[in-house]
Amino acid sequence: MSTRRTIVMVVMDGWGIGKKDDSNPIYIANPKNIDYIKRHFPAGALQASSIAVGLPWNEEGNSEVGHLTLGAGRVIYQHFPRISLAIKNGSFFENKVLMEAIKVAKAKGKNVNFVGILTEGNVHAAMDHVNGLIRLAQEAKLLRVNFHFFTDGKDGPPKNALALLDKVRAEAAKIGYDGVHIGSIGGRYYGMDRDQHWNRTERAYMAITGQNDTNIRMGTNDSPQVDAGGAENLNIERFKDLKIDPKEIIEASYKQGLTDEFVEPKTADPEGTVKDGDSVIFFNYREDSMRQLVEMFLNPSAVSQAISPLKDLHMASFTEYSKKFGIPVAFPPENVLNPLGSVLSENGKVQLRIAETNKYAHVTYFFNGFVEQPFPNEYRVLIPSQNVARYDEFPEMMAKDITARAIEAVSENAYDFILINYANTDIVAHTGNFNATLKAVATVDEQIGKLMDEVLRADGVMLITSDHGNAERLRDPVTGLPETKHDSSAVPVYVIANELKKEKDNFEVETSEHEVAGILSDVAPTILELMGIPQPAEMTGVSLMKLLR
């Protein structure tokens, strides 16, 4: 009989510790299984934002940074502060990759294009970096530079794009640079899709390259909340002019009930579209949501026969979206030595990772320290996400399927370590729909209960935590309006095993949830202690086993 003791690590994505009030869906939902766990097993709170995960002070955590830190067992300073520091110390304006892209465009008499999200959320990109690019263009004496913006509405207020466009123009005016042009604009739903919805990516690409039939195409099958019959209300004829103020494009989408996330991709300035011979710099620093768009630029005909490939483009990116792309990277990733997955593999442990499409990269690429390929004896299960425009339509997501596969894996007794991610409380909370988030919380809680029963039956160990806060605050306490962005809250951590079970009083429960026991980088050392594996020197986190109440 096998003596293997399976450890199951569960990431409840976006599940933070919030106030006990009506702004908190987790509190209102009163998840009974999590409450049972709090009262019977070791528990604590972990810092999951700001400097604790390598982000600037007062910066909310996110899924990428969270999973990277959970797996690395150390704090890794993230792309955002690295790039911001480069701008501050001036090295950004001497970056060889950025300067080469500009040099190539100048030599050919072509344009430089900057492509990325317009946001103050700092999850995918940053306004400070946009400002840095404006200054870079000015210092390079470019007569014009074309921005192609994706409007946010997910990691920031639902309707903030107009104000952010004003800030871009104000920054250019402040430094006396009149070369900024907006070539195209559209919601991140299209340009930053990561779920293989190539029709969305294609629409963003067509707007960026000026290949769309008209500057506005309403009522397509993949336009959420759009009423094709109301197109005449938008006075489409005026959008056929050669150049449009991007604000008009945004306002037109607003009139159709769309938020920034879903703004229809349009060409705003035909002279500012990406053309043969241009240089294109993708300035998002988060990797996964730019891969489809970059792949379409690299090999458009493989994705859609309707696309005319562009010739002689010089492309570069702020960060490395994928090694296979082979394009220059201005800020290459740090080499993360000995992440948890590697250490387990070197010690002969068999691993399984399970997630749906939305979070698959997080339990693999990010958790493994930016390593795409599985480590030896690491197996992966991808549960395809549902193809829905908004996840408040389906708050259950694929949680039941994930649990079923995890329970099967535990019963097989073939794995030493199983990592799963429940995406519900992050993805659904991003919609701002309070009632749907209540259902998401209830779904995750139900699945946690089922999985816990199987783990305890098999005499395994279950470690539950989160990667960042989100679902614990869905209403602004001042305005009462929906909040769709992440929060800087601490996140819970629980360790469940038969021998750890004990009854706790109310004081112990309250104390364990509100006293910070550690940070996300302490989770990997905790897993290693539970397995009896020595912690490598590169891991600076500490085991939580003596710190949890």
Task: Determine whether the annotation assigns residue 63 to a binding site.
Answer: yes
Task: Give helix 96-108 / helix 127-139 axis angle, nearest 10°.
Answer: 50
Task: Determine whether the annotation assigns residue 514 to a binding site.
Answer: no
Decide: 120 and 156 in contact? Cβ < 8 Å: yes
Radius of gyration of the chain (CA): 24
Sequential DSSP letters for 354-366: EEEHHHHHIIIII
Task: Determine whether the annotation assigns residue 124 to a binding site.
Answer: yes
CA distance 424 to 496: 22
Task: Determine whether the annotation assigns residue 188 to a binding site.
Answer: yes
Point out which residues pair with 465 in neighbouring strands.
11, 493
Task: Determine whether the annotation assigns residue 467 to a binding site.
Answer: yes
Q: Using CA atoms in the order 62, 63, 68, 74, what is the torsion angle rounded to 10 degrees?
A: 40
CA distance 548 to 44: 5
List the structure tokens of 121. 């959320």
Decide: 365 and 374 in contact? Cβ < 8 Å: no
Task: Determine whether the annotation assigns residue 35 to a binding site.
Answer: no
Task: Give helix 127-139 / helix 161-174 axis angle, nearest 10°.
Answer: 30
Task: Determine whether the annotation assigns residue 430 to a binding site.
Answer: yes
Decide: 267 and 215 in contact? Cβ < 8 Å: yes
CA distance 217 to 200: 13
Task: Determine whether the annotation assigns residue 67 to a binding site.
Answer: no
CA distance 71 to 337: 11
411 is catalytic: no
List the structure tokens of 94. 């001497």
Burial label for 4, CB within 10 Å (0-12, 13-18, 19+), is middle
Decide: 214 and 287 in contact? Cβ < 8 Å: no
Which of 63, 345, 512, 521 does the annotation list as catalytic? Answer: 63
Q: What is the H or E stretch that residue 134 is in?
A: helix 127-139
CA distance 38 to 505: 10
For residue 24, give every residue at least 6 positions away whose Cβ sits within 8 Å of its Cβ, in sequence order, or none.
18, 472, 473, 474
CA distance 520 to 64: 12
Distance of CA 307 to the CA centre of its chain: 28
Task: Determine whether the annotation assigns residue 468 to a binding site.
Answer: yes
List the structure tokens of 410. 């535990």
Task: Determine whether the annotation assigns residue 359 to a binding site.
Answer: yes
DSSP 368: T
Helices assigned H by DSSP within 14-95: 25-29, 32-40, 63-72, 79-89
Sequential DSSP letters for 224-291: TT--GGGGGGG-GGGGGSS---HHHHHHHHHHTT--GGGPPPEES-GGGS--TT-EEEE----SGGGH
List the structure tokens of 116. 């990325």
For residue 394, give every residue at least 6 positions away whose Cβ sits within 8 Å of its Cβ, in sequence order, or none.
386, 388
CA distance 230 to 258: 13
List the structure tokens of 267. 């060409």
Decide: 493 and 43 in contact? Cβ < 8 Å: yes
Task: Determine whether the annotation assigns residue 74 to a binding site.
Answer: no
Annotation: binding site for Mn(2+): 13, 63, 426, 430, 467-468, 486
Annotation: binding site: 13, 63, 124, 188, 194, 359, 426, 430, 467-468, 486
Residues with catalytic roles: 63
Annotation: binding site for substrate: 124, 188, 194, 359
